[in-house]
Structure 1
Amino acid sequence: MPPEQLQQQRQQQQEEPDYLALPAAPDSAGPAAAAAAADAIELGRSRSVAAARVESLRLQHEIVGLWAALKLCDEEAKTLQLLEDKKYALDD
């Protein structure tokens, strides 16, 4: 291995913490830490559910707007067709 790669690898190893060398948490912190982790997970889930609901409402609103625009275009197309029919009827 070239010296530059060795030096880069050593530098990365020095920057990364050695998780095995970290002191273990006391046993009394186990249940409290587990409860805190469960609360954090539940909070994350509730936030993601709330964000999904907001996105769903936004999309529903957008769909209603697009549907209204489509209906308007359909009405305009029918009106134009009616005008063309009347025009051709007058030409005859």
Structure 2
Amino acid sequence: MSKELDELRREYAENEAKLQQYQHRAKRLEQRRQYYEKGERQKRAHRLITRGAAVESVAPEVRPMSEQGFYSLAERIFSMPEVRAAVRDAAQREGE
């Protein structure tokens, strides 16, 4: 009977160790996922800032505009057929 109990205790200890290993692995994977998501957000923020700066550089008149006014202007510009065609062409050239 004592041998059975010792065996069960040993199995329990082994399983506890495995559980801790799996929990640690899951925590590392979660941290890695968060790191990559944060990196993607940072890349997006950098891209948006850079492109916004490029717009202000090319058209400094937009600097004092409100956000609503700027979006309205952007919608008007990007709804023009010649602008849509130019954007589509530029995107296709970038993709090649």
**Pair in the same fold by TM > 0.5:** yes
Percent sequence identity over aligned pairs: 10
Q: Secondary structure at the match of 2:2?
A: coil
TM-score (norm 1): 0.60
Match of 2:40 in 1: 65
Counterparts of 1:17-32 in structure 2 under 5 Å? Answer: 26-32=1-7
2:24 to 49, 52, 55: 49
> 5+ residue gaps in structure 1?
1-25
TM-score (norm 2): 0.58
How large is the Cα RMSD of the aligned pairs? Answer: 2.0
Count how many residue pairs are aligned between Structure 1 and Structure 2: 63
Larger radius of gyration: 1
> 5+ residue gaps in structure 2?
64-96
Structure with the higher fraction of residues in helix conformation? 2
Q: CA deviation at 1:86?
A: 6.0
